[in-house]
Amino acid sequence: MELTMLYYIIPSLIMFCCGVYGFITRKNMIAILISLELMLNAVDINFVVFNRFLFPGQMEGMFFTLFAIAIAAAETALAIAIIINLFRVAKNIDVEDVNEMKF
Amino acid sequence: MLFGLNILLYFVIIPVLMLLGLFLCQKDNMKQIRTVAVVGSTLLVALSVYLLVDYLALRAAGETAQMLYTDSWCWFENLNINLAVGVDGISVAMILLSAIIVFAGSFASWKINPLPKDFFLWLILLSTGVFGFFISIDLFTMFMFYEVALIPMYLLIGLWGTGRKEYSAMKLTLMLMGGSAFLMLGLIGIYFHSVPEGQQLTWNIVEIAEKGAIPHDWQLFLFPMTFVGFGVLGAMFPFHTWSPDGHASAPTAVSMLHAGVLMKLGGYGCFRVSMYLMPEAANELAWIFLILTGISVVYGAFSACVQTDLKYINAYSSVSHCGLVLFAILMLNTTAMTGAIMQMLSHGLMTALFFALIGMIYGRTHTRDIREMGGLMKIMPFLAVCYVIAGMASLGLPGLSGFVAEMTIFVGSFQHTDMFHRVFTIVACCSIVITAVYILRVVGKLLFGPVQDEHHLKLTDATWWERFSAITLIVCVAAIGCFPNFFSDLIKFTFDPEFFTVLGLIK
Amino acid sequence: MDITMPLMILAIPLGMFLLLGLFGNKMSHKLAGWLGTLGMGTALVLAYTTAYQYFFSGSELFINAAGERLQHAVFDYTWLEFTEKLIIKLGFLLDPISAMMLVVITTISFMVHLYSLGYMHGEKGFQRYYAFLSLFSFSMLGLVVATNIFQMYIFWELVGASSYLLIGFYYTKPSAVAASKKAFIVTRFADLGFLIGILILSFYSSTFDFVTMTSNPQSVFASTAGTMFMGGSVLTWGLVLIFMGGMGKSAMMPLHIWLPDAMEGPTPVSALIHAATMVVAGVFLVARMFPVYIVQESALEIVTVVGALTALYAAIVACTQIDIKRVLAFSTISQIAFMVVSLGVARPDFHEGLGYMASMFHLFTHAMFKALLFLGAGALIHAVHSNDYTAMGGLRKYMPITHISFLIGCLAIAGIPPFAGFFSKDEILTAAFNNSPLWGIWMTGVAGLTAFYMFRLYYRIFWWNNPDYGHHTPHDGPWTMSLPLIILATISCVAGFIPFGEFVTWNGHEYIIHLDWTVATTSIVVAVCAIALATVMYRKENAIPTRMKNAMKGLWTAAYNRFYFDELYIFITHKIIFNLVSRPIAWFDRHIIDGTMDSFATMTNYASEKIKGLQSGSVQQYVWVYLVGALLLAGAVIVFVI
């Protein structure tokens, strides 16, 4: 059996959809963050896969993935920091409950 | 030219320097703040007097250009926006008025509390806008300064006001901004029709007037836009309701500046932009606005008759008097327009005096309700006498400014060849009786009669800075009233008689 | 002619006003009072000299070869230029009537200044009082020497204001404040008419100048011909409106209501302003414009009717009042109405316009004897401390000087020869009879009523019974108060013999007065009968007055309440103007106009409140919406494009 592109893309699609589902439905900020990461990684997989199958001689997709991973790490660190601070103030990291700054 | 710069620029430079000076002041150090305010406003008065003298000398030397001291600096080339300055007799008179009122206002807010530094900052920013407005002859720059003058009002009323101050401040700002929206539209319209096809578009008033290229059907659209836009600030019925609330809530100096100068921006703008640039439309549509302003005049006076709050009485009286300004402008003849400008001067000084006195009385009695006061003549004779003088000026006693202004308006308006205009003039004349009713009602209730409240007996008369502020204004009111011809000539020279004869408006 | 003297006549009182007004409270009472009096004295001397020069110097400026007196503007400064033709000038016009008025005003004003030194002694605000008196004198002098109608209007307003200040002199007294307010507003209303009249006349004649207007009115007002407005010619409207201004100042019905109340002011003020000078301004105005009025006789007829009605009305009311100052006030109204009627009936074809001369003559004599009566009343009030004659009686023994001078005043006003009033009133009656017997008989009747109510007053004060004055016996005032009484009484005795017709006629031609003996005899008989009746009724305390009163209950009550004019005015001002006009307008402004503006704000607020839920800030919600939208869009693309 040859591993075609589809074998990679379908899991990544499932991963992305899980991410979207989680992002929309979860109320816990950490869970939302994890969903976000899930979507991001699904995209990373796509990048690598497309690069590997469509433009085998080039490395741009790989580089882009590395970039995205680095940025995702930074962003996660920032988000976690905000969430921790928020937890200190509000004792809660549920998005529904932290709405003092709304309107 | 003064120290190598166009003299007019100093009217913007000095307030800006005052702003810088105020920044450097320590917070709550009244001495420093007062020094900056007094020195700056004195300089402004001195400068405006110098401008007046110099202007008259130039005219006497045979200078016949429409605008003097003209100059222009480009600041946005793509749209041909310039900082174009220039003055004629009317602007000179208005600048003098503004300088005097800023001066008197600084003294009237001698003990402003809290945040004196911030108060003066906003007040001076406001006056920067006012002076800038009067010296500009570029429509865009003019509009910019106009907005600069409006915005600080919100904070001044909202922070230092009394009563329902947030509501009033919001109402005032929103209504004036609404007017600005019309105005902006009108100004842009003028810009795009300022010159015949194919030439470089311009914002410059003098150039636009010379070319006279605005097409007739566009005039019919743009005239109401600009007239209503400025008319809102000139308290034209039915867009006047910001005025009673705004005045009632504003602190003393702000009321003075607002009624004394800012409302004049409306009248001046109506004259300078709407009338001057679009005379044909003005002539055609004048009747609509004559009815509105005629209503303003009588309606404001009647409303004032039954108010019980001193500031409301005065605010409605301003509606009536400012209505007369717009009314006279719409008559489109030299005498009536001269009267309109004199009424602006007169009303500016007189109403500033009124608001200053009301502020001083309120500061002592802590009420503005005339039913709760009485017999103040006995307790604070100086303030009471000044109030009577202000009242007399308002109801048009000869020898004070109100009389000459109103009479010039009435006589001028009555020279109109059209019967409709003359009948409306008679209607407007009726306001002099109603004015007497509400002024004497207040004077009789507030100053004469027995003392209403025992606690008031302990109150003191005016302090020296209050006296100074009031006397400055009274002297100016009397000066206009006693030597009207000087002011009338200053203003009248501005009007090009052919401007009206072409329209066939003069007998 | 040298302009210094006329200029000083105006400048001295003005200077005194400024001096006393600004620095008065630093001066002692005595200094301020004497300064004011001295200033007025100087003005008096200057005015007399000016008048003497005008009438007797024979200079060709004042009288031409044909013996016609001329109008001469001594100076005329441009004050405010409206247009090239309509210019307000401040000037000094000398002509027969202004020269006469100079004399009248300075005489009475000086007397009042002097009298007030005694009367107002120790009063709080003494300096202020003298400042206002000077202001009034200045304004009144400016009014009579006006060279143009707008100058007159200016000073007209100024006298109104000084009258306001003086009526409200006792400003802590609510009634005085109300009276001053009423006086100002009623006259202001009349002035509105005056102003509109000026506007109309100046629109058609293109001038404010009196000399231009009156020297050739037919051609000046030629452009009014054929212009009608609401059934009357424009010129009639203009003249009637101008007369309306005069009606206000001269207290003609129905604008008379302020004058009786104006008696709240200090009595010398009533003598000066509300008896002798300011209230005749209306008469003076019509006299000034007389050559224009005779062009339009319909206007003169209106003047006559207004005057005649007022004369009768005021005389009837005067018979019932008990406040002595109010009796005098109504008598003033009635006497001014005589002057107005006299102008109204004057026609140039009869004895050089006899009515005009008679009116001015009566103005002159009336000023003297009415000021005398008022100052006498002041002395009485000063002595008894009450305005009501019910508190007086039998005073002839206590106050001989006041008594004699008051009697002379009464005889003069009643028209008994040889006192001044007889001569002037006789001329008026002659002129009235000439115009129409109706007015002649009417005015003779009013003259009889005058004699009756004056002697009713006289007897009630000086005879009747002797109330108990307690330990405080009334006495004549100090010399400052008595001297003016004596001087004015003397003038009232002799003024009738002035050959007035030689000085004052409408066209400057001399005219020799002859007494018309039929008219004179009738009027004397009527006056004597009226006095006799008053003697019977009031000389001693008796029941006749009460019985008379009960017999004519309805009329008496109506007259006592001044025929309910005040109630009518209160109804109009409070019920109609305030409650039905002002209040609804104020309500309309707050609730409809302002409500509309507020409703814009409310609507905006409401709309944003409704849609702000869309902008929830919840990213999850946004994503959900985005996702649904993206899928729908993708679906649409698939369905419609592919």
Q: Where are the domains of chain A?
A: 6-90
Q: Which of C80, C88, C578 sits opposite B305 (nearest CB)?
A: C578
Res. A73 pLDDT band, cuts 50 70 90: very high
On chain A, the residues whose CB falls within 8 A of the CB of C623 are 20, 23-24
Q: Chain A residue closest to C625 (CA)? A: A24
* B60/C442: higher pLDDT: C442
Percent of chain A residues past pLDDT 90, beyond the cut = 51
Q: Hey, of A16, A17, A23, A24, which one would you mutate to test binding to chain C, going by the most C CBs within 10 A of its CB?
A: A24
Neighbours of chain B (3+ CB pairs under 8 A): C
On chain C, the residues whose CB falls within 8 A of the CB of B334 are 83
Longest dimension (CA), chain B: 76
Q: Do A102 and C624 touch (CB under 8 A)?
A: no
Res. B507 pLDDT band, cuts 50 70 90: very low
Res. B373 pLDDT band, cuts 50 70 90: confident
On chain C, the residues whose CB falls within 8 A of the CB of A103 are 612, 617
On chain C, the residues whose CB falls within 8 A of the CB of B375 are 172
C475 vs C396: CA distance, rounded Å = 10
pLDDT digits (tens, 9 = 90+) for B467-482: 888 998 999 999 998 8
Percent of chain C residues past pLDDT 70, beyond the cut = 99
| Of residues B429, B416, B339, the one with CA closest to residue C195 | B429
Q: Are C62 and C69 in contact (CB under 8 A)?
A: yes
Checking if the pLDDT of B502 tops 50, the result is no
Q: Do C617 and A99 touch (CB under 8 A)?
A: yes
Six token digits for residue B131: 């002076």
Res. B496 pLDDT band, cuts 50 70 90: low
pLDDT digits (tens, 9 = 90+) for B429-442: 989 999 998 999 89
Smallest CA–CA separation between A21 and chain C, in Å?
A: 9
pLDDT digits (tens, 9 = 90+) for C301-349: 889 999 999 999 999 898 888 888 888 999 999 999 989 999 888 887 7
Q: How far is CA C130 from CA A75, B18, B463, C113, C220, in A?
A: 89, 48, 27, 8, 43
Q: Give the pLDDT confidence score for residue B494 in this predicted structure.
A: 61
Q: Which of C168, C185, C601 sits opposite B437 (nearest CB)?
A: C185
Question: What radius of gyration do chain A's Cα atoms show?
Answer: 17
Q: Do B171 and C597 touch (CB under 8 A)?
A: yes
Q: Give the pLDDT confidence score for residue A102 in this predicted structure.
A: 61
Q: Does C83 touch chain A (CB under 8 A)?
A: no
On chain A, the residues whose CB falls within 8 A of the CB of C630 are none
| Of residues B342, B211, B222, B195, the one with CA closest to residue B282 | B222
Neighbours of chain C (3+ CB pairs under 8 A): A, B
pLDDT digits (tens, 9 = 90+) for C121-152: 888 888 889 999 999 999 999 999 999 999 99
On chain A, the residues whose CB falls within 8 A of the CB of C624 are 24
Q: Do C620 and A24 touch (CB under 8 A)?
A: yes
Question: What radius of gyration do chain B's Cα atoms show?
Answer: 22
Q: Give the pLDDT confidence score for residue B241 in this predicted structure.
A: 87
Checking if the pLDDT of C595 tops 70, the result is yes
Neighbours of chain A (3+ CB pairs under 8 A): C
On chain C, the residues whose CB falls within 8 A of the CB of A36 are none
Q: Give the pLDDT confidence score for residue B130 in this predicted structure.
A: 92
Region B336-357 average pLDDT: 90
Predicted model pTM: 0.88
Q: Do C171 and B302 touch (CB under 8 A)?
A: no
Six token digits for residue B51: 């401008």
**Domain A6-90, second-level architecture:** Orthogonal Bundle (1.10)
How many A/C residue pairs have CB atoms within 8 Å?
18
Q: Which of C616, C617, C623 sits opposite A24 (nearest CB)?
A: C623
Region B164-185 average pLDDT: 89
Smallest CA–CA separation between C599 and chain A, in Å?
A: 23
Q: Which of B170, B237, B410 sits opposite C199 (nearest CB)?
A: B410
pLDDT digits (tens, 9 = 90+) for C365-403: 999 999 999 998 888 888 888 888 877 877 888 888 888
pLDDT digits (tens, 9 = 90+) for B385-423: 999 999 999 988 898 988 999 999 999 888 887 888 888
Question: In this predicted structure, which of A33-37, B369-373, C225-229 has the lowest mean pLDDT?
Answer: C225-229
Here the contacts of B148-152 (C-beta below 8 Å, separation 24 or greater) are B149/B262, B149/B265, B150/B176, B150/B177, B150/B180, B150/B262, B152/B122, B152/B123, B152/B125, B152/B126
Q: Give the pLDDT confidence score for residue B500 in this predicted structure.
A: 52
Question: Which helix (H) or strand (E) element contains residue C503?
Answer: none
Average pLDDT, chain C: 86
Checking if the pLDDT of B103 tops 80, the result is yes
- Chain B residues 138-177 with CB within 8 Å of chain C: 170-171, 174-175
Q: Give the pLDDT confidence score for residue C218 in this predicted structure.
A: 80
Q: Do B411 and C86 touch (CB under 8 A)?
A: yes
Q: Give the pLDDT confidence score for residue C152 in this predicted structure.
A: 92
Q: Does A31 touch chain C (CB under 8 A)?
A: no
C127 vs C492: CA distance, rounded Å = 31
Q: Chain A residue closest to C620 (CA)? A: A24
Task: Say which residues have a Cβ less than 8 Å from residue B440's Cβ, sequence separation at least 6.
Answer: B391, B395, C164, C181, C184, C185
Q: Do C612 and A102 touch (CB under 8 A)?
A: no
Res. B31 pLDDT band, cuts 50 70 90: confident
Question: In this predicted structure, which of B285-299, C381-395, C585-599 has the lowest mean pLDDT?
Answer: C381-395
Average pLDDT, chain B: 86
| Of residues B168, B131, B124, the one with CA closest to residue B146 | B131
On chain C, the residues whose CB falls within 8 A of the CB of B335 are 82-83, 86
How many B/C residue pairs have CB atoms within 8 Å?
128
Checking if the pLDDT of A16 tops 90, the result is yes
Here the contacts of C29-36 (C-beta below 8 Å, separation 24 or greater) are C29/C121, C29/C122, C29/C126, C29/C127, C32/C126, C32/C127, C32/C130, C33/C113, C33/C116, C33/C117, C33/C120, C33/C126, C33/C130, C34/C117, C35/C130, C36/C113, C36/C130, C36/C131, C36/C133, C36/C134
- Chain B residues 294-323 with CB within 8 Å of chain C: 299, 302-303, 305-307
On chain B, the residues whose CB falls within 8 A of the CB of C81 are 485, 488-489
On chain C, the residues whose CB falls within 8 A of the CB of B399 are 158
Checking if the pLDDT of B272 tops 70, the result is yes
β-partners of residue B85 are B71, B136
SS3 of residue C226 by DSSP:
coil
Q: Chain C residue closest to A35 (CA)? A: C620
pLDDT digits (tens, 9 = 90+) for B210-249: 777 788 888 888 999 999 999 998 888 888 888 888 888 8
β-partners of residue B369 are B309
Which sequence spans correspond to the domains of chain B? 7-505
- Chain C residues 587-616 with CB within 8 Å of chain A: 612, 616
Region C193-221 average pLDDT: 86
Q: Do A95 and C627 touch (CB under 8 A)?
A: no
Q: Hey, of C574, C581, C585, C600, which one would you mutate to test binding to chain B, going by the most B CBs within 10 A of its CB?
A: C585
Q: Give the pLDDT confidence score for residue A101 in this predicted structure.
A: 64
On chain C, the residues whose CB falls within 8 A of the CB of A101 are 617
Q: Which of C181, C593, C601 sits opposite B238 (nearest CB)?
A: C593
Res. B497 pLDDT band, cuts 50 70 90: low
Percent of chain C residues past pLDDT 90, beyond the cut = 20
Region C530-541 average pLDDT: 85
Q: Nearest 10 degrees: CA dihedral of C495, C497, C502, C505?
A: 50
B437 vs B61: CA distance, rounded Å = 47
* B156/C389: higher pLDDT: B156
Checking if the pLDDT of C459 tops 90, the result is no
Q: Which of B299, B436, B449 sits opposite C174 (nearest CB)?
A: B449
Q: Are C261 and C178 in contact (CB under 8 A)?
A: yes
